[in-house]
Amino acid sequence: MLCMKRFSIPNKSSSIGSFIPSFTFSVVSSKLTMPKGKQRKVEEEESTRKGTPKIDLISSLPDSLLCHILSFLPTRCAMATSVLARRWRHLWKDLLALDLDNSKHSPYYLPGGTHRFIAFVNAVFAQRKALRVEKLRLACDIPRGEKKTIKTWIRTVVGPHLQEMYLDLSFACNEFGDRHIKLPEEVLTSASLESLVLKGHVFLTVYDGFVDLPSLKNLELDLNYVDPDFVLLGCPVLENLKLTLHESFPLNASQPPEIYMPVSLKRLTLIQDDDIEEDINDIEDLVIDTPLLEYLSITLWARCLQVSISNYPNMVEAHLDIDQDKEQVGWMLELLKALRQTKLLDLKLSTMECLLVAPAFELPEFSRLLNLELEIPYFNSGFLIKLLHNCHMLQVLTLHNREKVSTVEPEEPNCWTLPMKDPDCVISHLKIFEFKGYQDSADEHAFVAYLLERGPILKTMKIHAHRSLGLKYKHRIRQELSTIPRSSKTCKLKVT
């Protein structure tokens, strides 16, 4: 093995000739590769052996590759590599990516006022040799009077080569007056831009015409004032969207807020910022007609008066945290139906609460569902088993019982006429089960017992007892559950 390792360094020596036949033989017979683990161990051994020649392999890499490596570093760090060795002195100047992060949690934060940071960035622009910028990441606080400087930077960077832009700009507190920086128009009409992230106090406006981003694939908006439709209409090939709605949505009170998701969307995250106290306006029209959608995550409680949902045959992962009034619940049920092809479904508490008080509704069959996570407002084993009937491919089930420990008798949900099936095939694929907030009620116990007795390939069962239960009680639970005969021989039970 060691001989072959030495062999890997590309220098022609006479010993190579004698090794060829044995090498190719072993290659063909053992499916082409040396076991990876062995190879790595050998490597480690060699490097820790004393007297190993210290080969500087990184310097044999071409400049373009070294520059590529530097492009993954924050710009301050990349600039600092100029003191490493002669070769590295001017490498950073050819960087096409700028990562200028002066946010407070960044390790490169310059304390003592943003003026130092601004001078630093000016120095970067002055000293670099490359004429274009392909990626810009800028996160900082804007001090008084420096809006123009920042806009100049953005203007310098926008060009036919700009591919990614990330801006997280905020004003230092106690800034009165105009607390927004207007994004230069060229950014919103860039033909080359593929990824755009805007956070903070950036203000979007286009004077003549509209937003036109024909190459944009990734968009993230987390702005205080934004009319999302204004931007979304100009992104015909958008694949990823993350939209955060703040209290000042919608921007224009006279126009009804509408959100039309681009048809090409594959990943959608819609979040409503929840640290506001006042009521938010209703969303007039929400259209999620995106047949290519693979990932969906919605956190929303604004009333949606009209929602258009299409089918999502490619859905893989869906997380729903939606709270609607009784009148609007209808679209949630429609959404659930549209998500029936998903592999992962995660329904948070408010969603479950809404669904459980919804009028009678036929739950769709989730034929591909592998992973189900539910936060339930109260525990009802009958209902859960009925639910399991509709996802017989299920491999992972996680329940979180958010019921407050009380003596109120939970009522049977009046919804969900579920088709009855042969009870035995319900959990035929279940491998992992996790139960959080276990309160050891008779119902819960019955359910857990059912799974243990009936789950043929159950591998892991984790029960997290409710925090109000003491250690002794947990021990008792463990004893009780361990006595239940298990259908699966390899099942491991864990109670914490």
Partner 1 sequence: MSEIDMAVIKPEMMKSYIWLQTSDGSIQQVEQEIAMFCPLICQEIITKGMGSSKNSAISLPQQVTPSTLSLILDYCRFHQVPGRSNKERKSHDEKFVRMGTNRLCELVSAADSLQLRPLVDLISRALARKIEGRTPEEIREIFHLPDDLTEEEKLEPLKNITDDPRIRLLNRLYAKKRKELKERERLKNVEIEEERVDERSVDDLLTFINGNDRDAKAVKTSKSKKKNRKKKDQQKNSSLKDNTALDKKELNGHDTGDQSSDGNIIGETSNLLYEEDGTFSPKIDFDDGDLDDDGIEPAIREKIDREVADFARRINSDWTERMQDFLTSGRERTSTFSATNGNGYLRRHA
Tokens of 246: 């703040």
User: How far is it, in rounded angstroms, from Cα 343 to Cα 393?
Assistant: 10
Nearer to partner 1, 55 or 420 (CB): 55
Least CB distance from residue 23 to partner 1, whole Å?
6
Q: How many helices (H) and strands (E) does the chain have?
A: 14, 20
| Residue count of the chain | 496
**Letter for the amino acid at 181?**
I
Q: What is the DSSP letter of 104?
A: T
The yes or no reply on residue 82 touching partner 1 (CB under 8 A) is yes
Considering only residues 1, 2, 3, 61, which one is a binding residue for partner 1 as defined by CB under 8 A?
61
Residues 349, 326: Cα–Cα separation, whole Å = 16
Whether the Cβ atoms of residue 241 and residue 261 lie closer than 8 Å to each other: yes
Q: What is the CA radius of gyration of the chain?
A: 29
Q: Which is nearer to partner 1, 22 or 490 (CB)?
A: 22
> Who contacts 56 (Cβ-Cβ below 8 Å, separation ≥6)?
none
| 170 touches 200 (CB < 8 A) | yes
**Segment near partner 1 (CB under 8 A), from 83-91, 134-142, 158-166, 396-404?**
83-91
Interaction of residue 456 with partner 1, rule CB under 8 A? no
Q: Where are the alpha helices (DSSP H) in 30-93?
A: 36-48, 63-70, 75-80
| One residue of 58, 191, 233, 393 binding partner 1 per CB under 8 A | 58
Choice between 43 and 178, CB closer to partner 1: 43
Taking contact as CB under 8 A, which single stretch among the options 74-82, 203-211, 393-401, 485-493 is the one that binds partner 1?
74-82
3-class SS of residue 400 = strand
Q: Does 123 bind partner 1 (CB under 8 A)?
A: yes
The answer to the question of residue 36 lying near partner 1 (CB under 8 A) is: yes
Name which position in 14, 50, 83, 412 contacts partner 1 (CB under 8 A): 83
Contact pick of 14, 18, 29, 60 for partner 1 (by CB under 8 A): 60
- How is 100-112 classified by DSSP, letter by letter? EE--TTSTT---S
- Binding residue for partner 1, selected from 95, 98, 117, 332, defined by CB under 8 A: 117
Q: Decide if residue 292 touches partner 1 (CB under 8 A).
A: no
| Residue 322 CB, nearest approach to partner 1 (Å) | 24
Name which position in 206, 263, 271, 316 contacts partner 1 (CB under 8 A): 316
Token pair for residue 13? Answer: 């020596």
Answer for the pair 206, 185: CB distance below 8 angstroms, yes or no. Answer: yes
Q: Which helix (H) or strand (E) holds 362?
A: none
Sign of CA dihedral 141, 146, 148, 152: negative
Window contacting partner 1 (CB under 8 A); options: 106-114, 129-137, 234-242, 431-439 = 106-114
The verdict on 357 binding partner 1 (CB under 8 A) reads no
Q: Give the C-alpha separation, 89 to 344, whole Å.
A: 50
User: CB under 8 A: which stretch of 72-80, 167-175, 195-203, 461-469 binds partner 1?
Assistant: 72-80
C-beta separation of 300 from 272 below 8 A? yes
Q: Which listed residue (2, 3, 9, 446) binds partner 1 by CB under 8 A?
A: 9
Per CB under 8 A, 416 contacts partner 1: no
Q: Does the CA dihedral 453-454-458-460 come out positive or negative?
A: negative
Q: Is there binding between residue 129 and partner 1 (CB under 8 A)?
A: no
Task: Choose the binding region for partner 1 from 4-12, 129-137, 205-213, 327-335 (rule: CB under 8 A).
Answer: 4-12
Q: Is 41 in the site for partner 1 (CB under 8 A)?
A: no
C-beta of residue 286 within 8 angstroms of C-beta of residue 306: yes
Q: According to the binding rule CB under 8 A, does residue 205 interact with partner 1?
A: no
Q: How far is the CB of 471 from partner 1 (least distance, A)?
A: 34
How many Cα neighbours within 13 Å face the side chain of 477? 24
Instruction: Choose which of 24, 414, 428, 468 interacts with partner 1 (CB under 8 A).
Output: 24
- Binders of partner 1: how many residues, by CB under 8 A? 64
Q: Name the minimum Å distance from CB 36 to partner 1.
A: 6
Binning the chain into helix, strand and coil, the percentages to the nearest 5 are 30, 20, 45
Is residue 141 exposed (0-12), middle (13-18) or buried (19+ Cβ within 10 Å)?
Answer: buried
Q: Do the beta carbons of residue 126 and residue 156 sit within 8 Å?
A: no
Of residues 2, 3, 69, 191, which one binds partner 1 by CB under 8 A?
69
Q: Does 127 bind partner 1 (CB under 8 A)?
A: yes
The contact set with partner 1 (CB under 8 A) reads 4-5, 7-10, 12, 16, 20, 23-24, 27-28, 32-34, 36, 39-40, 43-44, 47, 54-62, 65, 68-74, 76-77, 79-89, 107-108, 110-111, 116-117, 119-120, 123, 126-127, 316
